[in-house]
Amino acid sequence: MLRSLPFGPSGALLLIEPQVLQRLATFRQLGMSAPEAGGILLGYRRGHHTHVADVTVPTKRDVQRRFGFFRHATDHQRVATRRWEQSGETMDYVGEWHTHPEDDPFPSGVDLQHWREIAFAASRPMVFLIVGRLTNWYGAGLNRRLERLAAAATDA
Ligand SMILES: [Zn+2]
């Protein structure tokens, strides 16, 4: 089922494709040494609504640690650009995701700082998602404002 969460003012919704949540759930840090993973969220802006339809996943050139994920500078952007072209310039960068080795994840100070920079530069609300072992953390950001949306099961 398509997950939908209230997202910002005026009845806007965040819609996430079930395949996206299933794919993200495969990166949960269930094993004792499973490293962090991450990527970007790709989707469509439909009126006030944001619809997450695809993600990028770790590449060989990303650095994955138990506590830390460092994305390669250009690999994920290249996938995003390809999707944008393939979709007739409708599928766009709408946010960020990464995993935490926590059952119920919560953003770190580094996460919040990083997201504030992204949200500050954005003209539309951005989606921030942390994949935990049991639940996901969903947030939205625009300008200097970050807001938690809801915690929800990982839909695995
Ligand atoms: Zn984090």
Query: Would you state the pLDDT for residue 150?
Result: 64
Write down the number of H helices and E strands in the chain: 3, 10
* Separation of CA 12 and ligand 1 centre (Å): 26
CA distance linking residue 89 with residue 80, whole number of Å? 11
**Nearest one of 109, 111, 103, 99 to 35, comparing CA atoms:** 99
Fold annotation for 3-153 = Cytidine Deaminase; domain 2 (3.40.140)
* Average of per-residue pLDDT values in the chain: 89
Q: Is 100 exposed, middle or buried (0-12, 13-18, 19+ CB in 10 A)?
A: buried
**pLDDT at position 124, please?**
87
> Where residue 20 falls among pLDDT bands split at 50, 70, 90?
very high
Residue 130 CA, ligand 1 centroid: distance in Å: 7
Residue 36 confidence (pLDDT): 94
Residue 83 sits at the vertex; the CA angle it makes with 78 and 85, to the nearest 5 degrees, is 95
Q: Is residue 61's pLDDT more than 80?
A: yes
Q: What is the pLDDT of residue 29?
A: 95
Whether the pLDDT of residue 138 is over 80: the answer is yes
Angle, alpha carbons 125-127-105 (nearest 5°): 140
Per-residue pLDDT for 156 more than 50?
no
Q: Using one digit for the tens of pLDDT, what is the confidence trace for 104-128?
A: 999 999 999 999 999 998 888 899 9
How much is the average pLDDT of 22-31? 96
Closest CA to 127 of 92, 85, 80: 92
Percent of the chain having pLDDT more than 70? Answer: 92
From the CA of 82, how far away is ligand 1's center (Å)? 26
Better-predicted residue by pLDDT, 145 or 75: 75
Which residues have a catalytic role annotated? Answer: 36
* Whole-number pLDDT of residue 2: 65
Ligand 1 centroid, distance to 77 Cα (angstroms)? 20
pLDDT given for residue 130 in this prediction: 96
